[in-house]
Amino acid sequence: MTLCHAVSPAVPAHATDRVKRFADERDLPLHLIDAEEMQDPDYTANPVNRCYFCKSNLYRRLAPLVSEGTICAGTNVDDLGDYRPGLTAADEHDVRHPFVEAGLAKADIRNLARSMGLGDVAELPAAPCLASRIETGLRVTPRDLKIIDRVEGALRDCLGPVTLRCRRRRTGLVIEIDPELFAAITKSELATLTSLARHHADANGGSGLSLSFEAYSRGSAFLHA
């Protein structure tokens, strides 16, 4: 078995670091690849099926590594109820989904990880790629991905492992946090978080973007026609 991880502007830097540590600690072979999706104009145009182009590029890059094997992805049965154009790309490249074949949902996978002593992995919050924070139809750029990554990283350092998204919308940046936490934040705390987010947005090229906070809403940057 060989682990593969795509290094991309759309993948948070801390996620890549975590994968590297996981592989090193367990002496597992790890291939770091560039899926080259940022060179694909169909991907950067950010249509509703952006994930199809992302996964198509990824699987094409993985294919030479498994000429005599099988590419396996981490899709689980909970994912099957969502709009997942990346699954079409998986079908086109004969990718298998072991968790789906075993009938495992997200909660089952977390329990399995705990039973294997992988508690740190089991407790990781959901973390879609950074491009999912960019409103459908708004071009995916390295600058915006960097802003999103740095703002989310700074706020998580402050708030801990909470549900948090920095959305890039046509109107500017909207930072969404766990609804219960958002409801409990005082005006003073919100001012501090706004100042922190503003600093990191400005430092990474976002000085002209407006910035506001809202309660988290799943998939709010995805505009399905």
Amino acid 176 reads E
Mean pLDDT, residues 27-46 taken together: 93
Query: How confident is the model at residue 127, as a pLDDT?
Result: 78
Length, in residues, of the chain: 225
In this prediction, residues 100-106 reach a mean pLDDT of 96
Q: Give residue 195's pLDDT.
A: 97
- What are the tokens at 22? 């996981």
- 81: phi then psi, degrees, rounded to nearest 5: -90, -5
How far, in Å, CA of 61 to CA of 8, rounded? 13
The pLDDT confidence band at residue 151, using thresholds 50, 70 and 90, is very high
**pLDDT tens readout for residues 122-146:** 888 777 899 999 999 999 999 999 9
SS3 state of residue 16: helix
User: What average pLDDT score do residues 34-41 get?
Assistant: 92
Give SS3 for 96: strand
Given a cut of 90, is residue 105 above it in pLDDT?
yes
Structural domain spans, the chain:
3-122, 130-215
Q: pTM value? A: 0.88
Write out the two tokens for 42: 């169909």
What SS3 state is found at 189? helix
Q: Is the dihedral of CA 183, 188, 193, 195 positive or negative?
A: positive
Over residues 164-174, the mean pLDDT reads: 95
